Structure 1
Amino acid sequence: MIRFEHVTKRYADGTTAVDDLSFEVAEGELITLVGPSGCGKTTTMKMVNRLIEPTEGRVFLDGEDIATTDPVRLRRRIGYVIQQVGLFPHKTVLDNTATVPHLLGTPRAEARARAAELLDLVGLDPRKYGDRYPEQLSGGQRQRVGVARALAADPPVLLMDEPFGAVDPVVREHLQNEFLRLQSQVRKTVLLVTHDLDEAVRLGDRIAVYGHGTIEQFDTPATVLGAPATPYVADFVGSDRSLKRLSVTTVDRADLEEAPVLRADGNTTAPAAPGAVVLDADDRPTGRDGTGPAAVPLGTTLKDALAVLLRGDTGRLPVTDPADGGRYAGVLTPAGVHRALRRAQPRPAGPTSPDGPAAAPGRPAEDPLSRR
């Protein structure tokens, strides 16, 4: 859907913002561009909608060289979300959301109906919020309106520049969850710029880690965290990258163990037993053993599963299989968490240093959990 071919942006003072970038983004992929301030990630994104023109190289959108496309027509095909949202203060939420369809000539009633659908999709009841003005909304609500407005013309590509950076951490996490839910429904091709590695890891199908105008590594979150391509990337993702991998590794059936099972018959509570899993007549955990929440499903991140596991008293967390009607699949233990991380550890080609990141450029750094 998006392709960069040897793209460079050099300014008149000699500053090179990006240098010889070549990469591709598949349709429906969510790519996060992460790196320190001034590394070129926002410049990269703005070259997609021609807010910045490359000095050299070409950018393609759905096979078309965007240099040959009228910039206004191009931008109306691309959703754009920025940190400060940029809503029109004199327009209602509904009219803000309907802005692009109006510009494209969509009849007013049809554009407002589309806007109402999108407000509902991002979790804002149009009957409650549609007639409000931006100043009457919280920061998180304004950001939702910004996302809805960017989607109003059903663009194939969405560009997001630090979209959740202006809100507090609790609201940011909620917005990230909502955006992931939304993306699972609309499946847009997304470039999202962030300086927050945790956000990049949580949201991205793949991550582009920027150095100074170049991409040091472009891979899945698990690979970036588990096998940094260069010492620079290893330093950027930090020494706690093994902990960060908890948020990108999910619970698999192979990670589970067996445990004692008790049956609960009707309204009769089975007698308590340390570590036992109490199942109902349909083989679903009931949570009657007093150790905390009943279970988590397969596919839960290790981070979320470990949080639930640590709230219990037995060191065993029942896990269910959604594909089997939520029936009991086994238990996750701390040893299972470790096995899951080992299972998901990327195995880089070539030798690795037993003492951590190798000195040679381009050699993947070793994750301590991968040591045998």
Structure 2
Amino acid sequence: MIRFEHVTKRYADGTTAVDDLTFEVAKGELVTLVGPSGCGKTTTMKMVNRLIEPTGGRIFLDGEDISTVDPVQLRRRIGYVIQQTGLFPHKTVLDNTATVPHLLGRPRKQARARAAELLDLVGLDPATYGDRYPDQLSGGQRQRVGVARALAADPPVLLMDEPFGAVDPVVREHLQNEFLRLQSTLHKTVLFVTHDIEEAVRLGDRIAVYGAGRIEQFDTPATVLGAPATPYTAQFVGADRDLKRLAVTPVGPGDLEQPPVVRLDDSAARAADRLTADEAPWAVVLDADGAPYGWVTAGALTGALPDGATPGSGTVREHARQMAAWLPLGAPLKQALSTMLQHDAGWIAVRDGDRHLGVLTPAGLHTALRRSSR
């Protein structure tokens, strides 16, 4: 969708902001450009919508050389979100969001209807926020309006220049979550500039790590963190890059162990025989729908019940312990580790929908993390 071919930007004083960039962003891909201030990442982005013209090389958008396209028409095909949102202070939230559709010639009523849809999509009720002005919103709300305005004309490409950098960490994480939710539905082609490696890792399908006007490494977050291509990249991503990999490494089927499984309504005696036959000290307990309920130990199944019933009597339900520590398949290892610590658990059930797939243990988590670095 976006292709750079040997693109350079050199200023009259001899400063080279971008030096011989060649890379491609696939349709529907979110690529984060990360690096320190002054490394050329914002210049790269601004050349896509011709706010800055390259000195050499060519940039293509959906196969079309953008140097042959009228800049104003080009920009109306590209959503653009900046850190300070750039909202018009004299316009309401609804009219700010409707700006581009109106410029494209849509009737005012239609443009405002589209704006209302987008505000709702980014979590702002148009009935509540539509008639407010930007100075009546919080920083996080203004950023949401900025995203909604960029989406209003349904552009295939979004350029986002540190859009969440001006809000506090809690709001920033919430905005990141919301944007990932939107992207999973809309599948826009996105160039996202940030100086924060954790944000780049969390959001990007691929990461371009910038040095001085050059891309030092362009790869998936797991590869950048697990196998830095240059000493510069290794230093930039940090000595704790192995911990950062927890956030980008998903739990896979091959990471799971398969302890014995019993059902809540199985007889305790039969379940105890199963554990004895497998020489297992405990089993996962599933409910009637096959979803994880908890666990039961061999000792609990063969011990006496509180009411004095004979050992092994009753059903598994009367001996099982319930546990809420479970994860969906594909959840990041960071979430798995957090859940283990939160529940003081030695394992976590992993599900595909309501279907039990197996359990993740600390040893399995370690194996998965090692796998991600290969």
Shorter-chain TM-score tier: 0.7 to 0.9
Note if 1:212 corresponds to 2:212: yes
Instruction: Write the distance in 2 (CA, Å) between the matches of 1:192 and 1:139.
Output: 19
Partner of 1:229: 229
Which residue is equivalent to 1:330?
358
Q: Distance in 2 between matches of 1:131 and 1:302?
A: 43
2:338 to 288, 299, 307: 307
* One-letter amino acid of the counterpart of residue 176, structure 1: Q
Equivalent-residue separation in structure 2 for 1:112 and 1:314 (angstroms): 51
Deviation, 1:291, is 6.9
One-letter code of the match for 1:330?
Answer: G
Name the amino acid aligned to 1:10: R
Q: Which amino acid aligns with 2:352?
A: D
Asked if the contact 1:292–1:311 (Cα under 8 Å) also holds between the matched residues in 2, the reply is: no
Report if the CA contact (8 A) 1:279-1:286 is conserved.
yes
Q: 2:81–2:161: 8 Å Cα contact kept in structure 1?
A: yes
Amino acid aligned to 2:39:
C
Correspondence 1:317 to 2:348:
yes
Deviation at 1:342, TM superposition (A): 2.0
Residue 345 of structure 1 pairs with residue 365 of structure 2: no
Alpha carbons 1:32, 1:203 under 8 Å: kept: yes
Deviation (angstroms), 1:151: 0.5
Farther-moved stretch of structure 1 (63-72 vs 77-86): 63-72
Q: Is the 8 A contact 1:295 1:317 kept in 2?
A: yes
- Could you state the TM-score of these two structures normalised by the residue count of structure 2? 0.87
Match of 1:281 among 265, 280, 288: 288
Within 2, Cα distance between the matches of 1:111 and 1:314?
A: 52
Q: For residue 61 of structure 2, what is the aligned residue in structure 1?
A: 61
Q: Which residue of 2 aligns with 1:166?
A: 166
CA gap of 1:290–1:90, structure 2 versus 1, over 3 A, is farther
Structure 2 CA distance, aligned partners of 1:212 and 1:38? Answer: 8
State the 1:312 CA deviation: 2.3
User: Which residue in the other structure is 2:265 paired with?
Assistant: 265
Q: 1:275 to 1:191 in 2, by over 3 A?
A: farther
Tell me which residue corresponds to 2:7: 7
CA distance in 2, matches of 1:72, 1:333: 55
- 8 A Cα contact 2:325 2:340, kept in partner: no
Question: Once structures 1 and 2 are overlaid, which stretch shifts more, 289-298 or 1-10?
Answer: 289-298
Q: CA offsets, 1:180-232, max 9 Å, x none?
A: 11011111110000000000001001100000000000111111111111111
- The 3-state SS of whatever aligns with 1:286 is strand
Residues 28 and 188 in structure 2, CA contact (< 8 A), matched pair in contact too: yes
Task: Name the residue aligned to 1:140.
Answer: 140
Distance in 2 (CA, whole Å) between partners of 1:204 and 1:345 is 17
**Which of these two proteins has the greater Rg computed from alpha carbons?**
2
- Structure 2 unaligned regions, length at least 5: 273-279, 296-319
Which amino acid counterpart does residue 373 of structure 2 have in structure 1?
A: Q
Evaluate the alpha carbon distance shift between residue 170 and residue 291 of structure 1 in structure 2; reply closer, same or farther with a 3 A threshold: farther
Q: Per-residue deviation at 1:294?
A: 3.9
| Superimposed CA distance per residue, residues 140-186 of structure 1 (whole angstroms, 9 cap, x where no aligned partner) | 11100000000101111100000100111111111101001101111
Which runs of structure 2 are paired with 1:190-209 in the superposition (5 Å)? 190-209=190-209
SS in 2 for 1:24: strand
In the other structure, the counterpart of 2:306 is: none
Per-residue CA distance 1:97-154 (angstroms, 9 max, x = gap)? 0000111110011101111111111111111111111111111111000000001011
Task: Provide the TM-score with structure 1 as the length reference.
Answer: 0.88
Is 1:293 aligned with 2:324?
yes
Contact 1:293 1:308 in 2 (8 A): no
Question: Is the Cα–Cα contact under 8 Å of residues 31 and 207 in structure 2 kept in the other structure?
Answer: yes
Q: Between Structure 1 and Structure 2, how many residues are aligned?
A: 340
**Secondary structure of 1:38's aligned partner:** coil
**In the aligned structure 2, how far is the partner of 1:226 from the partner of 1:43?**
28
Partner of 2:314: none
The alpha carbon displacement at 1:286 in A equals 2.3
Q: CA RMSD in A?
A: 1.9
SS of 1:328 mapped into structure 2: strand
CA distance in 2, matches of 1:146, 1:219: 28
Alignment-derived partner of residue 87 in structure 1: 87
Q: Which amino acid aligns with 1:286?
A: Y
Q: Distance in 1 between matches of 2:259 and 2:187?
A: 40
**In 2: Cα distance, 1:252 partner to 1:12 partner:** 52
Aligned equivalents of 1:141, 1:69: Cα separation in 2:
34
In 2: Cα distance, 1:244 partner to 1:97 partner: 36
Which AA in structure 2 matches 1:277? V
Structure 2 residue identity aligned to 1:279: L
Q: Structure 1 CA distance, aligned partners of 2:64 and 2:262? A: 62
Aligned to 1:44: 44
Tell me if structure 1 keeps the 8 A contact 2:92–2:132: yes
Structure 1 stretches lacking a partner, 5+ long: 347-372
Identity, % of aligned positions = 79
